[in-house]
Chains A and B, each alone.
Chain A
Amino acid sequence: MNNVCRLVCLAFGLVFIVPGLCHAQAKCPWLNAATAVGVLGGEVELSVSSRPEVPAAPSQYSATDQRADRFDVTCDFRRKVGDHVYQLQIAVNTLAHPSSDFPTFLARCPSNVALTAIGNEAVQCRVGAGAETSSPLTEKIIGRVRNRAFVLTLDRVPEVTVKSDENGLHEDTRNLAEQVAGSLF
């Protein structure tokens, strides 16, 4: 390897690799950071917010249980590429009255496709430019597992190419939603 090659390699390394590195401290109870890295195509920052005053109280938890997955937790995975921040957000909410509360969540996905076999029920939709996010590649999946609703929002990174269906919706978003629902069962 000659010196020119070494310099080119060094330059590329500095430009493309070093800035992308970031190490999350918090943990998301619904999805691990490595999986989010896979979907967003590179290292991510994770912020976690929770509402510990809202215990989900499924039968498997004791009254004194303080584990994170017992509470309504929102996870924000962010990957910065240039000036743009791509985001995978998973918000979980406990419903006091699932039959009447869940439709208010569904309203966030007005033009949606019903999904089979994700949680008790789920829908998927594309969120257009200028709506809730700035990216035309944003998708949402809103689902329910027993008395808990989850809202998964994914700003797709353009260079991460994945297969889409006839509605232009993506399989990997559904796979993520399945993982989230799985952790809520």
Chain B
Amino acid sequence: MKSSTMFYILHFITRTMHPRLSRAVYFSSEPRERTSQAWVLLAICLLTFARGMQGQSYTKDMSAADLELQRKHYAEHVSSTYNFAFGQGVISVPGNAAVEGETFLQPDTFPNAKYCGHCHQEAYHQWQQSLHRNSFRTPFYRASVNILINTKGIEFSRHCDSCHNPIAVLAGGLTQNSVVDRKFDQDGLTCMTCHSVQKVQSTLGNGSYVMGVPAVLVDEKGNRIPGIPPDSEILAHLDRHSKAVMQSLYRTPEFCSACHKANLPKTLNEYKEIRAFTTYDEWQNSKFSQRNPLTFYQGDFTICQGCHMKRAANVLPEPGAKNGTFVSHRWPAGNTAVPFYYGFSEQLEKTVEFLRSGNYLNVDIFSIRKASDGKLIAPLGSQSFTLAKGETVEVTVVIQNKNIGHSLVPEVRDLYEAWTEFAVSDADGKEIYHSGFIKPDGVLDERAHSFTNRPVNTGGVFVDNHKVWTIHSVAYDNSVQAGRSTLVRYEFRIPPTAQGALTVTARVNYRHLRQSYLNNVFGDNHPAYPIVQLASRTRFFNVGENPAAGQDPSDNPDWMRWNNLGISYLDQLQYADAIRAFGEVIKLRPDYADGYTNIGLTNIGWEKFGSARAALDTALKLIPGNARATFYHALVERRDGHYDAEIADLKKVVEQFPQSRDARRELGVSYYQQDRPKEALEQFQALQAIDPDDLAAHYNLSLLYRRMGMKDKAKEQLAFYKLKKVDPGAPTYSLDFLRSHPEISNESKLWHIHSDGQRTGAEDAGSLGGAQ
């Protein structure tokens, strides 16, 4: 009782002298804790009296020692009831969030967005409607995280909330007996969550940032000063404000990787580590990173912020603006559901505008093949042909992920719907064929060609409701990686009575989110969520003569159309057709070195190394030292036993592209095979620094460390390898799913055709052999 009384008295004194300090002082029901609290408070009081600083500005009246003491006290209080399910002192696991000081941080140390918005009006206005602001509170997120909380426990939600609600994680709010006021939930990722990150631990994602104690000012020596000063303090030291809240790190793709990459750790699923989404890796492998020599096309260096934080004229006052423009704090991307639900019409409009801008996708109605003669007529527009009534026609649509710096669609593909809609109508507008339509209940045609995936659990059942901790396998994943293309085949029959022109349209649509998920969130009765047409192409087929019409300016040039076809065939493992398509490329552009390289790499896949060498030699004659051709040339040298040449080639690639995963990996293998362990080790370590999840790096490092007597490191790498390696038994769950879903199973085949009769690939093994 005595200590309690002292506690109350001292608390009152402290409250009077230190209003901010008092906010961080919490009551405890435990007598022992109260005693310790009393002593803490006494110490604070003595410090304050000793310094005689009452009434001075915040930077002076709140010393670092005061703040540390407050935090210590807060952390002790939270720790007393916190569920340390994943180890004593471990705050964020199964997430990766870390915080300076490595203990709980008071939520009030994060200034709220309104505080920042007082001056940064444009940023605040944009942020309010953004996905970052709405990262936690939306029904779309809550519906799935609630299931995790209700079935496994709130402590597991630290995995999701390390990115969706970092303050809740770092404040210790995600525990059964939480003592944390959750008023910050509305702000999700508020200004000072991003602007307090001090570094990124690795590119493993799952919230792999290190949060600093929020500070909006630094002192004259550059030391961060935590606390929430009045505007006058900031205005008097704008340079120090800028140093506190802006870092060069924020302008790197690695900053985004902290959350735009995720895996499902064993601590979450009690199974093994499964990659969830890898947006950062996809960017790194894209032409926009200029880190990968193997991309099919080249592009200007563009980081995440280059597309998602573009500069635009600011409307409202914004001290962060430069020359009247401000980087977007809307982060426009693909999510139309959140602005639709909240009625954020401006954000919705900007999102749709963003999705349709940038020449991100190209839809090409590339070719037809008549069942009557089986000959391929391609590329459409440049070839004349005739069509007869009653004829069955196969149309090839090539969809190119042209300028997206990641896959179509990225991230949580089980929740998004992106698909091809293909429609044919007669001259009267009567529908002849339609794939990818929306049914009256809002559900997408199950047989649509969809760029999503189908994760399944151990029962072979689709993992609905984003219950990611139950995922054991993926039945199919038809997403299109950056810079690559995919081929979609449709077959329809021209009606015997048809006359005039048939209208053939292919489009790529996007809906955020899948209808079944929307139904799970809201029940069946909810407004229809927006479907955005991302790209489309229409052609007219005359029943009768169709003269060559020439190239449409909106289409890719013919050589690129063939190239995209070749890439599609290559990804579908149809090597002969791919080589023929790439052959058409070099007919049209004999100076195009990549055309020969494409033939070379296809032949390597087909294990025709002699042909591969000839094509690659031609490419290297056209562009000596070309990294892409040199890389594949090295693989041919390896096959032919020319090990010195193989290593020399790969070294050249690494010199040009030191962050190339593939070159590092293959050079590591080369050195390993040549019994040069130190050099191999160097390459695999470099590879692991680029991609900490690379399995080859884990495996080979385990061997090399063991050989060098570093048993602990070897053991660690082997453990990672086992943890991350795909379970060879898992595909059986995919097969269970596909067997029970024939309407979808066609999609899992590399080669399939969409038709009214649902003809399968096996029935029509036709190839490009008859190309004109």
Contacts and interface: CB of A to CB of B under 8 A. Distances in A.
A146 interface: yes
Interface residues of B, number: 37
B12 A34 contact: no
Contacts of B151: 60
A18 B8 contact: yes
A32 B175 CA distance: 11
B43 interface: no
Nearest to A182: B142
Contacts of B13: 9
A67 B137 contact: no
Contacts of A179: 182, 185
A9 to B, nearest CB: 5
A121 to B, nearest CB: 10
B11 A182 contact: no
Nearest to B342: A117
A133 B13 CA distance: 37
B758 interface: no
Contacts of B182: 31-32, 34-35, 179
* Most A C-beta atoms less than 10 A away, residue of B139, B342, B343: B139
Nearest to A33: B179
Contact of A185 (B5, B139, B179, B186): B139
Contact of B150 (A9, A43, A60, A119): A60
Interface string B17-50: 0000000000101000000000000000000010
A97 interface: no
A145 B525 CA distance: 11
Given A60-B465, A182-B137, A120 B526 contact: yes
A125 B178 CA distance: 30
* Most B C-beta atoms less than 10 A away, residue of A9, A61, A67, A181: A9
Interface string A170-185: 0000010011011101
Contact of A9 (B12, B343, B465, B526): B12
A38 B173 CA distance: 14
A37 interface: yes
A146 B142 CA distance: 14
Interface in B176-200: 177-183, 185-186
A117 B27 contact: no
Interface string A65-79: 101011000000000
Contact of A60 (B139, B146, B186): B146
B9 interface: yes
B181 A38 contact: yes
A12 B15 CA distance: 11
Interface string A136-147: 000000000111
A13 B523 contact: no
A116 B181 contact: no
B223 interface: no
Given A60-B147, A146-B522, A34 B9 contact: no
B523 A120 contact: yes
B520 A182 contact: no
A129 interface: no
A175 B183 contact: yes
A60 B29 CA distance: 35
Interface residues of A, number: 43
A12 B183 contact: no
A73 B387 CA distance: 68
Given A146-B522, A178-B137, A179-B182, A59 B465 contact: yes
A117 B526 contact: no
A43 B526 contact: no
Interface string B120-154: 00000000000000000101001100110011000
Given A60-B151, A117-B342, A185 B521 contact: yes
Given A21-B27, A32-B182, A38-B181, A116 B342 contact: yes
B526 A13 contact: no
B341 interface: yes
A32 B184 CA distance: 13
B179 A34 contact: yes
Nearest to B338: A117
A116 B526 CA distance: 14
A13 B521 contact: no
A33 to B, nearest CB: 8
A1 interface: yes
A6 B8 CA distance: 12
Contacts of A37: 181
B180 A34 contact: yes
B343 A185 contact: no
B186 A175 contact: yes
* Most A C-beta atoms less than 10 A away, residue of B13, B147, B343, B521: B13
* Most A C-beta atoms less than 10 A away, residue of B8, B49, B521: B8
Contacts of A18: 8
A67 B152 CA distance: 12
A17 interface: yes
Contact of B341 (A1, A14, A17, A117): A117
A12 B142 contact: no
Contacts of A31: 182
A178 B8 CA distance: 34
A175 B9 CA distance: 34
Contact of A17 (B8, B137, B150, B521): B8
Contacts of B178: 32, 34
A98 B525 CA distance: 10
B33 to A, nearest CB: 12
The 3 residue pairs across chains A and B that have the minimum distance between CB atoms: A38-B181, A146-B523, A13-B12
Interface of A: 1, 6, 9-10, 12-14, 16-18, 21, 23, 27, 31-32, 34-35, 37-38, 43, 59-61, 65, 67, 69-70, 98-99, 116-117, 119-120, 145-147, 175, 178-179, 181-183, 185
29 contacts: A13-B11, A17-B8, A17-B11, A18-B8, A21-B27, A32-B179, A32-B182, A34-B182, A35-B181, A35-B182, A35-B183, A60-B151, A60-B465, A67-B150, A98-B523, A116-B342, A116-B343, A120-B526, A147-B523, A175-B183, A178-B137, A179-B182, A179-B185, A181-B139, A182-B139, A182-B146, A182-B185, A185-B139, A185-B142
